[in-house]
Amino acid sequence: LGEAVAQVRTPGGLGSGFIINEEGYLITNFHVIEGETQISIEVYQKQKGQLERKIDKDVRIIAIDRFSDLALLKIDDEDAPRFKPVPVGSTDPLGVGEEVFAIGSPLGLERTVTEGIVSTKTRQMQGRLYLQTSTQINPGNSGGPLFNLSGEVVGVTNMKMTFSEGLAFAIPSEQVKYFLDHRDAYAYDSDNPSNAYRYLPPPSRPQKSAETKD
């Protein structure tokens, strides 16, 4: 899974992300890229049987949802080989106590793997439901994937309780799928980058057709 997990760097800091298709689209947290336009993505791609580091600086923001803390980015590198994606799974079959693991860049240490269990699937915080996990996450893990043992993404790690251990939280994969399915509604507007939504113009009223007279 190492090829599909990316490090997301901005002038203000760094986070993690994961590739969702071969064209170079990836998911991360909104707070990782909030207020930033200069974004670089570091990925590891297999070359001659070995993983080699590659940094892409031609990165576009496709969609953002500040309320769910999600962002969709696109690596625009026509010369890059096909990217290695990971599947986004479902939390429905996930049981409390089931083992999960995270891959990310805590404190800049790329491709760090940590493991834990699902503590609860329905932890409510600020009006939203999160997966609570004992998996260790730290600054730099934000936006990275939380995997089940089948290698499917079941959550996006985005926060932890400060001054505590084993109290971490992830955005459920169902919310990620909803965000992707409705990405047009969350399309990034470069003219108004602080707006998480793009409002489409209202439909015009249909004009009455002129009546024909005999």
Catalytic residues: 31, 69, 142
Structure tokens, 3? 């090829």
From CA 98, how far away is CA 114, in angstroms rounded? 14
Q: Which residue has the tokens 């991360």?
A: 28
CA torsion, points 50, 1, 32, 125, in degrees to nearest 10? -160
Structure tokens, 204? 């015009």
Which parts of 30-98 are beta strand (E)?
40-47, 50-56, 59-65, 70-75
Residue among 105, 86, 114 at smallest CA distance from 40: 105
From CA 37, how far away is CA 144, in angstroms rounded? 20
